[in-house]
Structure 1
Amino acid sequence: MSGEIQNLLFNRETGQGNSFDLYLQNTWSLSVISIQSSPVPVFPIATEIVSVDCKENYVICLTNRGEGYFFNCFLPDEMISLRRNDEHIFKLSFSGNSILIMLSDSLSIDLKFYLMPLPIKNSEERIQILEHLSLNLKDIVEYDIYNQNLLIFKQSICRIITFPSADELFQSSSRYPYYNRNHIIFINTFQNSSLITSTHLQSNQKYNFTIEDTERIMILDHFEENLFFIHNQKVKVYNLAIGQVIEVSEVPEKYFVGKVNSVAQFHDGIRIMVVNTRKIYLKPSLVCADLANVVAVYVENRGVFMLDVSGSIRQVIFPTAKIRALSMNRETGQLVLCTKRSLYFYD
């Protein structure tokens, strides 16, 4: 993926404020969801959390100062700091039965990568990986947290490697492709047409289709059998199974890629990127990671809205403080809301 319009959904650190008008429709089913009495840790006073993620009973948090914290929901008083004094953490992610940490320290501008096997007892229990790589932040094009792939562009060479094995899935020194959900996508322009080729990096399954003009094409998303792209100032979807292009919407201002679903954000609302989903007139400041049939969005001064993939709002949470990050626990179905230095768990 490339371009400002394409933002990884879990990259909540870059959320921007907007005006948040809400237009209710009678088809929405609104109900308040109750808070769960899960114990939470007490963070240091200077903490400002910018992202949070969950796996089973484990929670990891990243702060604006590059601090990382880990705790077990059953033992919240035993919160563990994941960095050392001379380090700055850029990314925290669950990777299998471990936590993956991407950081730099005061001795070098190069990034270092560590795995910390679960359950974590202390910050010293970590294993360095990818030691043969010499990378800094400007070399990282994209970190796909869902498939644990890293897209690198360095010295005019594009590479994709996978965590934690460091297997190289792709390399090209001549062309810069789109990358999305384990797919490499090329666009070849000819005299009167454009050929789009999508190849899965692991199965090597390949799809080709032709657009009968040479107008610019931007790839947005590739999930299941649908390839979403921008063409002639419209978002379109190509169904790979039936070989048909369908027009979906106008061009969004932002596009958030989730594990199961994706969300396009427009000046007046959002749309869950299912072919027949209608526009939802919410303008969120945060879009959450999704479960199979649920997407959560936070609209400042309005609440957290739980949407199903049809675009209907099924539940609304009314937090008492500004939400800075949110996440869903895919194993438990819990929603985690994060204020500046506090966490709230909802069933």
Structure 2
Amino acid sequence: MRKRLILFFFALVLPLSAMAVDAQECVGRDLIAALRPEQKAELDRAVAAIPFNRGTLFEARKGDARILLIGTYHFSDPRHAATIARFSDDLDSADALLVEAGPEEQARLSNELATNPALIADTDGATLPERMAPEDWARLSAAMTERGVPAFVASRMRPWYVAMMLGISPCMLDQVKASGKVEGLDHLLLERAEAEGVPVVALEPWDTVFTLFAGMTPEEEIEMLQSALPAADHADDYASTLINAFFSGKVWDIWEFGRIDAYENSGLSREDVDHQIGLAQEKMMDQRNESWIAPLVGAADAAAKDKGHVVAAFGALHLPGERGVLRLLEREGFVVSALGPTGDAP
């Protein structure tokens, strides 16, 4: 199981440009607002224990070194324009923009996907219908067909990629096909930086998304698909929940909602849910956060030599937590300050 938060993961953790769409046009209900009172109280208690659990905009300073940190949402939304306008001067004058994947990494990813189908398809091993219970495959193939992927194609796709697609509604995928535009906040920042001649630095290699799922057992892969199926029919609700939390600065509410939702709907014990979510956090966020600190600090120190600064923009779920980027920067001696209105105090 990799939890039913797969849409949230790709929207706030991984910048997969091919999936950037305008989620506002696919209307659903806010699932956090619909929680029962006891569930909402449990969510609030869990969130309160997490450092930097509110906000998406921060500044980190250490001596002359300065990093402006922007937590991003990888899907498009007209409200991103306000963020771009607010920090345009900081970005235009920055020594560098540090992002998860820059233009070169995105181009390499696109090229590799086009020339190496094995990255997302297994042409040699057992097919998904051979690996899954008949009723599960029937549900999965119907959901993938609704998303424009014929069952015979889906049968050979790698489970992590199928799980990702199940979390994105057919409405959103239709918008990708219709517009062909990539306008998530990180992409808008990249466009601005390139237009102004600001160097762009990638925090990790182009193939990170593939290495994250390496080492999963066949059983874990099928459990991931099984846990993604219940959300397939409610992807618009998940998108609305995500976007409402992001623009209200309640970033960690998204993660804890996924836990509570899994308690209710995954069919697993609370202990198993906590274990699997802990594994997901370790692989998807914590390990990556720690690998980003050296390049962030190095870039800030280099810019500080000429009284300059850098801007860093990455998925907002990387900001909070004891092993989140903000706390890790504090351990490097940086003083972290929140920038309102979506950068509330920790």
Q: Same fold (TM over 0.5)?
A: no
Q: Answer 1 or 2: which has greater helix percent.
A: 2
TM norm structure 2? 0.31
Name the structure where strand makes up a greater proportion of residues: 1
TM-score by structure 1 length?
0.31
Higher relative contact order (CA 8 A, sep 6+): 2
* Larger Cα-atom Rg: 1
